[in-house]
A and B are shown apart, each in its own frame.
Chain A
Amino acid sequence: MAKKLKIGIISLTSCEGCQIAILSLGDKLLKLKDKVEFLEFRYLEDQPWPDHFDVAFVEGSPITKKQLKTLKEARKRADKLIVLGNCAALGGVHEIKNYRDRNKIIRYVYERKKGIANPEIREIDNFVKVDFTIPGCPINPEEFLRVLKNLVEKKPLKIPTISVCEECPLQGTPDCFIVKKRVCFGPWTLGGCGAPCPKNGLECLACRGFKKGVNLDVMIKSLSRFASEKELKEKLEIFGLRDELNS
C-alpha cells in the first residue's frame, strides 16, 4: 500500500467554521481514510503533534504569542503549508480593528484589559511562507476535497479563476445587484463558491478575495455610481480587503 498523506488541520483564532466545513464532508472525507492520515485535527483526535506533516492546513489568525509560535512550528514541521479561509488568507472580520483605533476598541470590550493580546491583524503570509490558499468565509468544502485529492495524487493544486459573477445565476437578470444599481463585488471577486450570497439576496462582499489582475481603481470607480467611496471601503473591511486597495 502506498504511503498515506500525513496531514494536520491547525487552528488559530477564528470561528473554526472552515474546520466545520471540512467535517461537513462526512462520508466523502472518510472515504479517503486509507490515503490520508489526520495526524492533527482537534475535532477528530486527542493526540500530540507528530514531528512531520506532509501538509499542514492552517485556519485563523495568530492573535496570541502562543499562536504565533504554533504557526511557526507548523511551518517547520510541514513540507507544504496551505491556508484555509478568509481569516488566514485575508485577515477576517477581526481585521476591521486595523482601520480604527484598536486601543479604543479593546477598552470598549474590556474595562481592564490586562493580559489580553491586541495586535494589529495580519494575514498568515506575513509570518510564514504559504504554499497555497483555499479562500472563502467559510471555505467551500468541495474545493477543499478537490485540493486534498490532488495532494494525494501529487497533481498540481489549482482552484477556479473565474469571477463570482460568472457563476451567479442572477448575472444580467433584473434581480442582479448591479442591474438594480446596488453594490456587489461579484464581478471582481474570485469565484469557486457557487455565488451563495448574491443568489440568496446578499451582495458579494468578496470574502474569497479579488480575482488576480483586476483593476481595483476601476472597480471603485464603477461602484461609486451606487455608493460613496467611504461606504465601499467600509464594506470591504468586513472580509479584510480594504488594505488590498492600497497594495
Chain B
Amino acid sequence: MKIVIDHIAKIEGHMGFVGHILKGNVAKAKLEVKEGARLIEGLIIGRNLEDAPLITSRICGVCPVVHNICSLKALEDALKIEVLDGVKILRKLLLAGQILQSHSLHLFFLSLPDFFKLDHDIKFVDEFKEESKKATQIRKFADKLVETIGGRAIHPTSTKIGGFGRVPDQEKLKNLLKESKKALKNAKDLAQIFADLNYPKFKRKTEFISLSSKEEYAYYDGKINASDINPLPAKKFLPKIKEIESPFDVVKRAKYKGKSYMVGALARINNNRDQLNPEASKLAEKFFGKDIDYNTFHNVFAQAIEVVHFAEEVTKLLEEYLSENFGEKEILAPDKIRAKNGYGIGVCEAPRGTLFHIYWITNSGKISGCNIITPTAQFLQNLENDLKVFLPDLKKMKEKERKRKIKMLIRAYDPCISCATH
C-alpha cells in the first residue's frame, strides 16, 4: 500500500511524505523536503562578524530571535565577552517571548484544528471563539514583549554583541508585567484543553536531548543532556553529533552516536521536569507522572505546559529586571569590539529544540567558518523513524483518515523546514 502526501500544510516550510505499508508490520516512510537551499552558512564567510546575527536571524521568521541570540552568544564566546546580568535577563525575556510566540502559533492554529478534523482555521475560530481569543492574547502579549525589548516582533533590531542598542522603556515593561498575569491565566485555561485531547496511542523508545542546568529549566544556557551521559558542555558534546548528507536531500540530518534522537518541548520536559515553574509543574505531574514519555504526539501537550511555564518565567524575569533599575551602563552594547582569531559556540533552547551556532573568526573581525545545527535537522530522522513504526497501525483506516493521522504526527513535532534547510 502506497501513501503519498505531496504537500504538508500547516508546518513551517515545504515538505511532502511518501510511505509504503508492506507485508506484516513492515513499513517504509520518507519525508521529502521541498525547500530551496539558501546556503546561509556559506553566505556569511568572509563577512564582518556583526553581520552574522542579522543574516542568521533570517533563517526563520517563526524563531528569528533565538537564531539572533544564539549567534550573538557564539560570537561572544569566540571574542571572550561576558555579558552583564541586565543583558542576560533581557535576552532570557526575549527567548521566553519567542517560545510563547512560536508555541501559541503552533498549538492553536497549526495543531489543535487537527484534533477536531477542521481543515480551515477560520472555521475553527468560529467554533472556538473564547479559546481563540485567549490564544490570540498570548500571542499578542509575546509579540509585544519581543518588540519592547528586541525592537520588532519579527527579526530583532536592538540586540548586539555584548548588549543592546537601546534600553527598553520601563513603563512598557511595567505594563507587560501586568499583562503577563493575564497571559498566565489564559495559558492555564488553554492547557486544560490540551490535557483533555484524545492523543493517538503510540510509543517508540528514543533518545531525548536538551540543555540542562542545575539552576533552572534550561533555555538560555546550560550543558547538553542525554540519557547515557552526564550533561556535557557544548564543545565536548558536539563531536558526538554527526550531520549526514544524502543525495537530493537539502537537510543534513543529525545523529547522536549514530542514532536518531528527539529535541524540543517533550525532550525538555522529559529531561528537566522537576525544574518547571509551579503552575506548569502541577500540569506536568498530572499528565506525565514521573516516567519518561515516549509518545511523541504528546509533544503538543508538552508545548502547552511550556506556554504556562514561560508565562510564569516572564513574570519572574520582569519583576527581577524592574527591581534592579538597570541603566545605559548595564545594558548598552560596547561601541567597539576587538577581534582575535578564535572559535565560539552558542547554544540555546529554541521553541523546537536545542540550537547550535558555531563560528570561526579572524583578527580582522571577519567570519572564517560557520556551522549551524537546527532542531528540525536533529529530529527529522526521529520523526521518520516514528512514522515507520506508526504506519502499520493505520493499515485498516480509510485513506483520508490515514493521511490525517500521518499529518498529525508530523505536526506534533512542529517541524520547521526553513530552519532545517537554511
Contacts and interface: CB of A to CB of B under 8 A. Distances in A.
A196 B39 contact: no
A242 to B, nearest CB: 13
Given A17-B64, A200-B151, A23 B39 contact: no
Interface string B251-285: 01000000000000000000000000000000000
A117 interface: yes
Contacts of A20: 61-62, 105, 154
Nearest to A36: B122
B247 A112 contact: yes
A67 B157 contact: no
Interface string B58-73: 1111101000000000
Contacts of B158: 200-202
B109 A23 contact: yes
Contacts of A191: none
B118 to A, nearest CB: 9
Contact of B36 (A24, A43, A117, A201): A117
A112 B245 CA distance: 7
A19 B43 contact: no
Contact of B62 (A16, A110, A201): A16
A93 B43 contact: yes
B130 to A, nearest CB: 14
B342 interface: no
A234 B9 contact: no
Interface residues of B, number: 62
A13 B14 CA distance: 9
Given A92-B58, A110-B245, A117-B37, A43 B10 contact: yes
A130 interface: no
A46 B114 CA distance: 10
B116 interface: no
B151 A26 contact: no
A139 B279 CA distance: 37
A18 to B, nearest CB: 7
B318 interface: no
A30 B37 CA distance: 33
A73 B161 CA distance: 44
B184 interface: no
Q: Tell me if A's interface is mostly helix, strand, loop or mixed.
A: loop
B245 A12 contact: no
A201 B166 contact: yes
A42 B9 CA distance: 5
Interface stretch (A58-66, A158-166, A218-226): A58-66
Interface stretch (B48-56, B197-205, B301-309, B379-387): B48-56
B110 interface: yes
A23 B142 CA distance: 13
A196 B152 contact: yes
A112 B105 CA distance: 36
Contacts of A102: 39
B136 interface: yes
Nearest to B132: A30
A134 B324 CA distance: 42
B195 to A, nearest CB: 25
Contacts of B40: 93-94
B38 A94 contact: yes
Contacts of A234: 47-48
Nearest to A111: B245
Contacts of A232: none
A116 B248 CA distance: 6
A15 B250 CA distance: 15
Given A108-B45, A112-B245, A115-B247, A45 B58 contact: no
Contacts of B43: 93-94, 96-97, 100, 105
B418 interface: yes
Interface residues of A, number: 61
- Interface centre among B9, B42, B158, by most chain A C-beta atoms within 10 angstroms, is B42
Contacts of B28: none
- Interface centre among A46, A62, A108, A196, by most chain B C-beta atoms within 10 angstroms, is A46
Contacts of A63: 36-38
B262 to A, nearest CB: 23
A118 B39 contact: yes
A62 to B, nearest CB: 8
Given A26-B140, A196-B151, A46 B36 contact: no
Contacts of B250: 116
Contact of B37 (A33, A47, A118): A118
Contacts of B155: 17, 137-138
Interface string A63-79: 11011000000000000
A238 interface: yes
Given A16-B62, A17-B64, A23-B105, A43 B110 contact: yes
B121 A64 contact: no
A197 interface: yes
Given A24-B153, A93-B55, A109-B39, A18 B61 contact: yes
B298 interface: no
Contacts of B42: 97, 104-106, 108-109
List the 10 closest pairs (A to B, CB-CB), nearest first: A201-B165, A63-B36, A17-B61, A115-B248, A13-B36, A200-B151, A105-B42, A200-B158, A46-B9, A94-B38
Interface of A: 11-21, 23-24, 26-27, 30, 33, 38, 42-47, 61-64, 66-67, 92-94, 96-97, 100, 102, 104-106, 108-112, 114-118, 137-138, 196-197, 199-202, 205, 234, 238
23 contacts: A15-B60, A18-B61, A21-B61, A26-B139, A38-B122, A42-B10, A42-B11, A43-B109, A43-B121, A44-B122, A47-B119, A47-B120, A63-B38, A64-B35, A66-B34, A110-B37, A115-B248, A115-B249, A117-B37, A137-B58, A196-B152, A200-B157, A202-B54
